[in-house]
Amino acid sequence: MARPVGTITRGTTGVNRLRRADRWILAAHGHLLRTADRPLIVDLGYGASPVTTLELFQRLGGAQVVGIEIDPARVAVAKPYERPGLSFRLGGFELPVDRPPTLIRAFNVLRQYGEAEAWSYWELLTGKLASGGVLVEGTCSETGHRAVWAGLDREGPRTLTFSARFDAFERPSDLADRLPKTLIHRNVPGERIHTFLRDWDRAWAHAAPYENHGRRQRWLRATGLLAQDWPVFRHPPLGGRARWRLGELSVPWSCVAP
Ligand SMILES: C[S@@+](CC[C@H](N)C(=O)[O-])C[C@H]1O[C@@H](n2cnc3c(N)ncnc32)[C@H](O)[C@@H]1O
């Protein structure tokens, strides 16, 4: 077997760490996963324990899931957890699978690479997707209470989603430390992501009186204000009250792209 593409990095993971992203995957792409013919789901870089891959497998309820890790010791740790529909194998960005995946989830993997590498691995991975398939690539805090992820298809990045527990931030721009590698170094004056986060903080400040009714109400109000100036998704499956009330907000990638 050729050497896996990539490098072994820190294996930090944890129970329920990717719950927010999985919930979004089901809402945004559940239809795709239900209607695709034998969809294959790849969890790339699952870390020191396969717990988040197991959770994804359970949440997807029966789809075929393959966990891929570049560290052989972590593959050995995961092997005993295999079961019908769930397997683990050694590999990297080349993706050692026998058919194109409908969904690739890669969390807290690319952040440990350089910015230029992150762009080229986005291209490599999206080029391996099945027709209509998606790559969900993101970063989150150790507990998963703050998370940001990009949704990509074979054409490139399409969406950017922010998700946070209401007690896990002071202002929306606190989520900047979880931006994908392709954006985090662009959070500087003159870049759209910086302007977006500045405007979101302003909307948050204007919505302060709503905090009396709880942070969720303040989030809903701030999102409504922000949506006056930015193309925040307002309708399901990516937007609207049902998403926003979870502490979530999605925008088209194009409005924040570097
Ligand atoms: C920080 S852990 C993330 C674990 C889990 N996805 C999570 O978010 O909790 C990153 C893992 O990605 C693995 N990794 C890094 N580059 C990889 C690659 N090219 N292919 C497969 N795994 C990779 C590392 O070895 C490490 O175990």
**Rounded to the nearest whole angstrom, what is the distance from the C-alpha of residue 187 to the centroid of ligand 1?**
24
Q: Domain for residue 218, yes or no?
A: yes
Residue with CA closest to ligand 1 atom 24: 9
Q: Domain for residue 1, yes or no?
A: no
Domain count, the chain: 1
Contact 232, 138 (CB under 8 A): no
The angle at the Cα of 52, spanning 49 to 86, to the nearest 5 degrees, equals: 90
Query: Which ligand 1 atom is the nearest neighbour of the CA of 43?
Result: 6
Residue with CA closest to ligand 1 atom 27: 47
> Measured over all CA atoms, what is the biggest interatomic distance in the chain, rounded to whole angstroms?
60
Domain CATH for 156: 3.40.50.150
Query: Which ligand 1 atom is the nearest neighbour of the CA of 71?
Result: 25
Residue with CA closest to ligand 1 atom 14: 45
Q: Is 45 in the pocket of ligand 1 (CB under 6 A)?
A: yes
* Total-model pTM: 0.97
The Cα 170–Cα 196 span in angstroms is: 17
Q: Domain for residue 12, yes or no?
A: no
Ligand 1, pocket-test mutation among 109, 125, 146, most atoms within 8 A of CB: 109
Contact 49, 15 (CB under 8 A): no
Contact 163, 21 (CB under 8 A): yes
Q: Domain for residue 10, yes or no?
A: no
Q: Is 137 in the pocket of ligand 1 (CB under 6 A)?
A: no
Q: Domain for residue 135, yes or no?
A: yes
Residue environment code for 50-79, b if the CB has 16+ CB neighbours within 10 A, otherwise e: bbbbbbbbeebeebbbbbbbbbeebbebbe
Contact 233, 250 (CB under 8 A): yes
Per this entry, what is the length of the chain? 258
Q: Domain for residue 139, yes or no?
A: yes
**Rounded to the nearest whole angstrom, what is the distance from the C-alpha of residue 148 to the centroid of ligand 1?**
17
The Cα 43–Cα 139 span in angstroms is: 14
Per-residue pLDDT of the chain (258 residues; tens, 9 = 90+): 689 999 999 999 999 999 999 999 999 999 999 999 899 999 999 999 999 999 999 999 879 999 999 999 999 999 999 999 999 999 999 999 999 999 999 999 999 999 999 999 999 999 999 999 999 999 999 999 999 999 999 999 999 999 999 999 999 999 999 999 999 999 999 999 999 999 999 999 999 999 999 999 999 999 999 999 999 999 999 999 999 999 999 999 999 999
Q: Domain for residue 189, yes or no?
A: yes
Owning domain of residue 217: 19-255
Contact 81, 90 (CB under 8 A): no
Q: Is 44 in the pocket of ligand 1 (CB under 6 A)?
A: yes
**Of residues 159, 155, 202, 198, the one with CA closest to residue 176:** 198
